[in-house]
Amino acid sequence: MSDIKEVLYSEEEIRAKVKELGERITEDYKGKKLFLLGILKGCVPFMADIMRSIDLELEYDFMDVSSYQGTRSMGEVRILKDISTSIVDKDILIVEDIIDTGVTLSYLTKILKSRGARSIEIVTMLSKPSRRKVELPVKYNGYEIDDHFVIGYGMDYNERFRGLPYIGILDESVYSNSEE
């Protein structure tokens, strides 16, 4: 696909990383019931895979939040879909595809704490530490990457490329002339 500058992580590499993360999570939460909170839409492939790799009793729900438009993080966080169950006294594991500035997850963590969560941890497939605006503890991190615009495995550019089975870098020519 000519829109892809480079494949960062193959389907096989992703599968191995998810298995590794799932084993760590299973060990850390042994004997507990875990509540997975997926952040839509990008988390869906990762959420499905990580759920199957965690050998524990699980509950799950989703939130849809927005702080992006195109390739730009706008900084303002809006909840578009909230969770539908109580999280009081639950161990929450937020499932995210990628952490960029950390603003969205910092905001969500505060909300979840105010709603009575017992504990809150984060699992992410990708993290961009160089873009961080907010210090954020990430217990389970798949890969740290440089500041590239990445797509695939749930991540998109204007709803395109989510279904790719790998994670790639989007060629700048795709978005450099289309920013609003």
- CB count in 10 Å sphere of residue 53: 18
The residue annotated as part of the active site, out of 49, 91, 97, 100, is 100
Q: Are 20 and 141 in contact (CB under 8 A)?
A: no
E-assigned strand segments in 41-116:
58-69, 72-81, 91-99
- The closest alpha carbon to 146, from 126, 173, 164, belongs to 126
Chain-centroid distance of CA 132 in Å reads 15
The tokens of 120 are what? 């809150």
Q: For strand 72-81 and strand 58-69, is the pairing parallel, antiparallel, or unpaired?
A: antiparallel
Residue 89 catalytic? no
SS3 92: strand
The catalytic site residues sit at: 100
